[in-house]
Amino acid sequence: MSAFDLLMGVLLIASALAAVTLKNAVHAGLALVGNFLALAVVYFALEAQFLGWIQIIVYAGAVMVLFLFVIMLLFDAKADVGMDRLPWMRPVGAALAAVFFLVLAYAFSAVGPNNPLADVKLAGGLPQALGKLLYGDWLYAVLLVAVLLFAATVAAVVLVQPQIRKARVKPQVLERDRELKEVGK
Amino acid sequence: MSYYLLLSALLFAIGLYGVLSRRTAILIFMSIELMLNSANLALVSFARASGDLGGQAMALVVIALAAAEVAVGLGIIVAVYRVRESTSVDDLAEFRG
Amino acid sequence: MLLLLIILLPLLGFAYLGLFGKNLREPLPGIIASALVGVSFLLVLFGLLGGGASWEIKDWLPGIPLSLVLDHLSGYMGLVVTGIGFLIHVYAIGYMHGDEGFSRFFAYLNFFIAMMMTLVLAGSYPVMFIGWEGVGLASFLLIGFWYTEKKNADSARKAFITNRIGDFGFLLGMAILYSTFDTLSIGELREILETSNVLPLSLGLAGFLLFVGAVGKSAQVPLMVWLPDAMAGPTPVSALIHAATMVTAGVYLIARSSFLYVNLQDVSYFIAVIGIITAAYGALSALGQWDIKKIVAYSTISQLGYMFLAVGVGAYWIALFHVMTHAFYKALLFLASGSVIHALGGEQDIRKMGGLKKYLPRTHLHGLAGALSLAGFPLLAGFWSKDAIITATLNYPFGGTGFYIAGLSVAFLTAIYAMRWYALVFLGEYKGSVEPHESPKVMTIPNDILALGAIFAGFLALPEPLWNYVEPFLAPALAHVEVHHMSLGLEWGLITLSAVVALAGLYLGYMAFTRWALPKWYLTFQTWSENAFYVDLVYNTLIINPLKELAAIWGLIDSLLDTGYLALAGVSSWLGEKLAWVQAGYVRVYGALMVLGLVVMLVWGVLR
């Protein structure tokens, strides 16, 4: 565990804690952006360069921006305020999260030692190596993801259409209009 | 490697706490993103440990998925806000009984 | 097929009148019902003339066929049932006029005829049992016909429950027969018993239990308490069911099973003893009754006792002969009583009658014929059949002199109370308040026919050396019994003795109830007799009330159990209320629960 690992660990945990506790939504969103950026740095250190860039571009750059757009758009979303109807959820949630962490930690402690040839095989996680995999064994997955993104686009567009309500006309009026049309013919 | 794995577990737990204790839909969503990212971190760590690029490919797919999910999810939140005039999750208590 | 029609036609009448009778105007339901019974009568007649018939579904129950058989015995009984039934149906058209349950009455009457014919035509015991139960049900429905009065409903219930006790015996008897012989078809059982030399020990028990059934149905001591109460039903019901047909079903059962009883000396002796006790009880109780119908009811109990005396000593055909003559004169007595009641607008107490001879001439003749026949006035039907029974106690294998003396004494009493009935109703001065009017033709013509039967039917079977048509007619269907005929002189001497006894009784009755003042010891006896020797009281105290208390206790336990179960249910509903918050609708709660579940699964998985 080097100094770099320690520093990144502290950054990640701090920004995550900030993201889940800050009352101002914009501040929380910004904290989350920080978290994602730190995560990207970690990816670089873990020989996953392509993934690191993708993390910055897509997650920090697109997803979080989207989040911040919506937070700004919806007046109510600016802050996590109001009477908490379930005050007991906080300690209970903390307890559950703690137990969860302990269980996962216990499970992860059984992981074996590193493969010494790892660095060579990974080839730094560069697009060339990753691309060979993606368009080779993982082609099917890539195609499905494409379909999924398409579906998401369509859904997103449909969801935000304004609702046009047809004006409800009284039946007598409809009847009269029809009669008038008959006479007028 | 176990260090980064522990880290991802911790981040996941923090995200979990956020999902349960936040009241606004958007902030819950952000906590979910946090959880997804922690899973990604675990994947990449395993890839680094074993030299199998499949872990990184998987992480890539997860990122794409998360992006799609955010698009649709935010659309839903906006649509619900239009009808309900509120983003508090506690107000959407219709799954009663 | 013919046999099915005999039963199905009245059954159809029951269904049709029951469902649609309300829409039919009087007297159409009565006419339909009477016509159907009349057709049944003709069918029985044709069947007999055609040499009999039988119909069977094999293996209806395992090893037991559903069979109907029309032989001489069932044909004979069938003619009595449908013939008298037809006359009573016609009478009832007049008697039930104006009653709002007119069509319901005829529906029930037809149902009764259908069930009685099932009983009579049965070729196997379970079919007879169906008819047995059916007539019990019909009796219940008809006794409690005017069910809005509690007394009537109670009487109906009493009849049904007392019958049930007998039915239980019948069932047990059938069970023993089945387990011993593996068949309940009467024909097969008869063959087995007549050809085998060795008889199983259980036969006596079976015979006794079947007799218990007869005790209930035919109102013998100790199950006779329902018959007087059954007078709560309309008079045609009393005439048909409780005089002519249903109560004789017990006699019919034993006659049908004659092949069984002929081998059971002890059981037959027991039957005869019960018979004579019942005869005496009925006669003694009839002497003190003040209700016109109750007198006739106790008389029925007494005459039924005579019939069982006959089957007990082995004289099966004589019992059946008495069934026929009794049907005529007892139905006549009931219907005449009915005419009197109808004439007086519902009055049944004979202390308010008297002198009706001049107001109701036709009915008076009917009543006279019936009473004389019952008393055994020489040459009338009752005389020949009752005398045949009394003589049989000396001729037949299971009889004895004690039976003879007892039988003759009860005949003496019979004559006395018959004359009492006649004298207090028709002679003397009219003590009532209502102006009596004679019955319409539809009621008097059937009575005329019954009167003819009551007078002349006895001539069908006269003692030696005169003709006898009944005995040879019934012989093929009954068991063969060794009869030790006494010498002709002795026989006719005894016949003359009975005639004298009957005349003496009539004279004594006439004098006692119209001329003399009654002595004190007699008045005490009369009170005892009026209350039927307090049998009902004894039963109530010893049996009925303790059972009612027991039932009340069980009811209490039952309601306690109910409370217990409700409390159990209450627990689960309390639990439900307490856990309702889980589904209050908060998404976060659901989320927390999901996480909880996940954590539990993980812990379990990791620890494994």
Cβ atoms B57, A134 nearer than 8 A: yes
**Of chain B residues 52-91, which have a CB less than 8 A from chain A?**
52-54, 56-57, 59-61, 63-72, 74-79, 81-82, 85-88, 90
Q: Which residues of A touch B79 (CB under 8 A)?
A: 159-160
Alpha-carbon gap, residue A103 to A146, rounded angstroms: 35
- Burial of A106 by CB count in 10 Å (0-12 exposed, 13-18 middle, 19+ buried)? middle
C-alpha to C-alpha distance for C341 and C319, rounded to whole angstroms: 31
CA distance C591 to chain A (A): 10
Which chain A residue's Cα is nearest to C608?
A107
Q: Which residues of B touch C586 (CB under 8 A)?
A: 89-90, 93
What's chain B's average pLDDT?
85
Q: Note whether residue A111 is domain-resident.
A: no
Residues A21, A18: Cα–Cα separation, whole Å: 5
Is the per-residue pLDDT at A55 higher than 90?
yes
Minimum-distance CB partner of B16 among C583, C584, C595: C595
Say if residue C295's pLDDT is above 80.
yes
**In the beta sheet, which residues pair with residue C185?**
C124
What is the least distance, in Å, from the CA of A93 to any CA of chain B? 5
List of chain B residues whose C-beta atoms are within 8 Å of the C-beta of residue C606: none
Q: Which one-letter DSSP state was computed for residue C518?
A: P
**How far apart are alpha carbons C420 and C414 in whole angstroms?**
10
CB-based contact B64:A145 (threshold 8 Å): yes
Q: Which range in C67-71, C458-462, C485-489, C530-534 is most confidently predicted, on average pLDDT?
A: C67-71
Residues of C in contact with B24 (CB under 8 A): none
Chain A: touching chains (3 or more CB pairs < 8 Å): B, C
- Mean pLDDT for the stretch of residues C398-403: 81
Nearest to C264 by CA among C124, C175, C397: C397
Q: Which residue from B minimizes the CA distance to A64?
A: B30
DSSP letter assigned to residue A59: I
> What is the pTM (predicted TM-score) of this model?
0.67
pLDDT surpasses 80 at C455: yes
Query: C73: which residues sit within 8 A by CB, 6+ positions away?
Result: C255, C256, C320, C474, C477, C478
If you average pLDDT over residues C547-565, what whole number do you get?
89
Residue type, C335: L
pLDDT in tens, C352-399: 887 888 888 888 888 898 899 998 888 888 888 888 888 888 888 777
Bridge partners, residue A19, by sequence: none
For A101, name the nearest residue in chain C, comparing CA atoms only: C599
pLDDT of residue A185: 60
CA distance C119 to C516: 48
Q: Do the domain assignments include residue A117? A: no
Residues of C in contact with B20 (CB under 8 A): 588, 591-592, 595
Beta strand segments in C280-419, E: none
Q: Interior CA angle at A170 toward A165 and A174, to 5°?
A: 100
Structural domain includes residue A16? yes
**Structural domain contains residue A27:** yes
Sign of CA dihedral C99, C103, C104, C107: positive
Count up the domains in chain A and report the number: 2
CA distance A60 to chain C (A): 27
Determine which helix (DSSP H) or strand (DSSP E) holds A181, and give its type and residue range: helix A171-184
Residues 6+ apart with CB under 8 A from C125: C174, C177, C184, C186
pLDDT at C56 over 70: yes
- Rounded to the nearest angstrom, the minimum Cα separation between B19 and chain C is 8
Q: Do C583 and B97 touch (CB under 8 A)?
A: yes
Q: Is the pLDDT of residue B34 over 90?
A: yes
Provide the chain C residues 550-589 that lie in CB contact (below 8 A) with chain B. Answer: 583-588
CA distance C384 to C498: 10
The total of other beta-carbon atoms located within 10 Å of residue A125's CB is 24
Q: Distance between CA atoms of C572 and C557, rounded to whole angstroms? A: 23
Query: pLDDT, tens digit, for every residue of C412-453?
Result: 999 988 988 888 888 877 777 777 777 777 778 888 888 888
Closest CB to B13 among A90, A98, A152? A98
Confidence band (pLDDT; 50, 70, 90) for C258?
A: confident
Six-digit token string for C553: 């206790």
> Which residue in C545, C549, C542, C541 sits closest to C557, CA to CA?
C549
C contact test, residue of A20, A99, A109 with most C CBs within 10 A: A99
Q: Give a yes or no: residue A29 inside a domain.
A: yes
Distance from CA of A86 to the nearest CA of C (A): 9
CATH label of the domain that carries residue A60: 1.20.120.1200
Which residues neighbour C89 within 8 Å (Cβ) at sequence distance 6 or greater? C30, C33, C34, C37, C106, C109, C236
Size of interface A-C (CB pairs under 8 A): 28
Dist. CA C435–CA A180, nearest whole Å: 87
For the record, the structure tokens of C360 come out as 């109701």
Using the beta-carbon criterion (under 8 Å), do A48 and B71 form an inter-chain contact?
A: no
For chain B, which domains are there? 2-89 (1.10.287.3510)
Considering only the beta carbons, identify the residue of C583, C586, C595 that sits closest to B90.
C586
Q: Are C119 and C252 in contact (CB under 8 A)?
A: yes
Q: Say if the Cβ atoms of B71 and A90 lie within 8 Å.
A: no
User: Nearest CB to C592: which of A92, A99, A107?
Assistant: A92
Contacts C599 to A, Cβ<8 Å? 96, 99-100, 103
Greater confidence, B76 or C487?
B76
Q: How many CB atoms lie within 10 A of CB A146?
A: 11
- Rounded Cα distance between C64 and C188, Å, is 10
- Examine the domain organization and report whether A141 and A73 are in the same domain: no
Residues A3 and A58 in one domain: yes
Average pLDDT, stretch C480-505?
A: 82
Query: In Å, how far is B24's CA from the nearest CA of chain A?
Result: 6
Which residues from chain A sit within 8 angstroms of residue B21, using beta carbons?
20, 89-90, 93-94
- pLDDT for residue B95 is more than 60: no
Q: Token digits for C608?
A: 């494994």
Q: Are residues A9 and A64 in the same domain?
A: yes
Mean pLDDT of C123-151: 90
How high is the pLDDT of residue B93? 61
Q: Nearest-CA residue of chain C relative to B18?
A: C588
C595 → closest Cβ in A85, A96, A104: A96
Contacts 24+ apart (CB under 8 A), C263-268: C263/C193, C263/C199, C263/C203, C264/C203, C264/C204, C264/C207, C265/C398, C266/C204, C267/C204, C267/C207, C267/C208, C267/C211, C268/C311, C268/C312, C268/C313, C268/C314, C268/C398
**pLDDT band for position B39 (cuts 50, 70, 90):** very high
Range of the domain at A155: 127-165
Query: d(Cα B64, Cα B74) in Å, to the nearest integer?
Result: 16
Residue of B nearest to A96 (CA): B17
ipTM value of the model?
0.88
- C511-517: average pLDDT: 77
Angle CA A178–A182–A183, to nearest 5: 120
- Please state, in angstroms and rounded to a whole number, the distance separating the CA atoms of residues C23 and A162: 69
Give the pair of three-digit tokens for residue B43. Answer: 């994947």
d(CA C256, CA C323): 14
The confidence band for A50, taking pLDDT boundaries of 50, 70 and 90, is very high
B93 touching A (Cβ < 8 Å): no
Cβ C349 vs Cβ C530: under 8 Å: no
The predicted-structure confidence for C11-34, as pLDDT tens digits, reads as follows: 888 888 888 877 777 778 888 888
Question: In chain B, which among 12-51 make CB contacts under 8 A with chain A?
Answer: 12-27, 29-31, 33-34, 37, 40-41, 44-45, 47-51
Residues A66 and A4 in one domain: yes
Other beta carbons less than 10 A from residue C607's beta carbon = 8
Which candidate from B60, B75, B87 shows the least CB-CB separation from A74?
Answer: B87
Instruction: Give the least confident one: B48-62, C79-93, C315-329, C461-475.
Output: C461-475
pLDDT tens digits along A7-16: 999 999 999 9
Contact B20 C583 (CB under 8 A): no
Cα A82 → chain centroid? 25
What pLDDT score does C583 carry?
67
- Structural domain contains residue A34: yes
DSSP track, C467-508: -BSHHHHHGGGS---------HHHHHHHHHHHHHHHHHHHHH
Residue C364: exposure state from Cβ atoms within 10 A (0-12, 13-18, ≥19): buried
- Facing residue for B71 by CB, picked from A43, A85, A152: A152
Asked if A107's CB is within 8 angstroms of C588's CB, the reply is no
By C-alpha distance, which of C258, C265, C253 is closest to C213?
Answer: C253
Collapsing DSSP to helix, strand or coil, C290 comes out as coil
- Least CB-CB distance to C585: which of B16, B20, B93? B93
Rounded CA separation B56/B41 (Å):
10
* A79-129 tens-digit pLDDT: 666 666 777 778 888 988 998 898 888 888 777 666 666 666 767 778 888
Cβ contact B5–A108 (<8 Å): yes
Phi, psi of C360 (to 5 degrees): -125, 75
Q: Of C236, C435, C288, which Cα lies nearest the Cα of C347?
A: C435
Question: What is the rounded distance in angstroms from the CA atom of residue C390 to the CA atom of residue C406?
Answer: 9
A79 SS3 class:
strand
pLDDT over 70 percentage in chain C? 99
Task: Out of A65, A81, A97, pick the residue that ends a domain.
Answer: A81
> Is C595's Cβ below 8 Å from some Cβ in B?
yes
Q: Is the dihedral of CA B77, B80, B86, B90 positive or negative?
A: negative
Is A177 contained in some domain? no
E runs forming strands in A28-113: none
Q: Is residue A142 in some structural domain?
A: yes
Name the nearest CA neighbour of C302 among C376, C362, C352.
C376
Helix axes A89-108, C587-607, angle to 10 degrees: 30
Chains that touch B (3 or more CB pairs under 8 A): A, C
Which chain C residues touch B93 with a CB distance below 8 Å?
584-587
Concatenate the DSSP letters of all residues of C232-247 into one string: GS-HHHHHIIIIISGG
Residue of chain B whose Cα is closest to the Cα of A149: B68
Average pLDDT over residues C299-304: 91
Nearest CA-CA distance, residue B95 and chain A, Å: 16
Q: Which of C586, C589, C599 has the CB atom closest to A100's CB atom?
A: C599
Q: B60 vs A114: CB contact, 8 Å cut-off? A: no
Chain C residues within an 8 Å CB radius of A96: 592, 595-596, 599
Q: Is B92 on the interface with A (CB under 8 A)?
A: no
> Please, which pLDDT band fits residue C101 given cuts at 50, 70 and 90?
confident
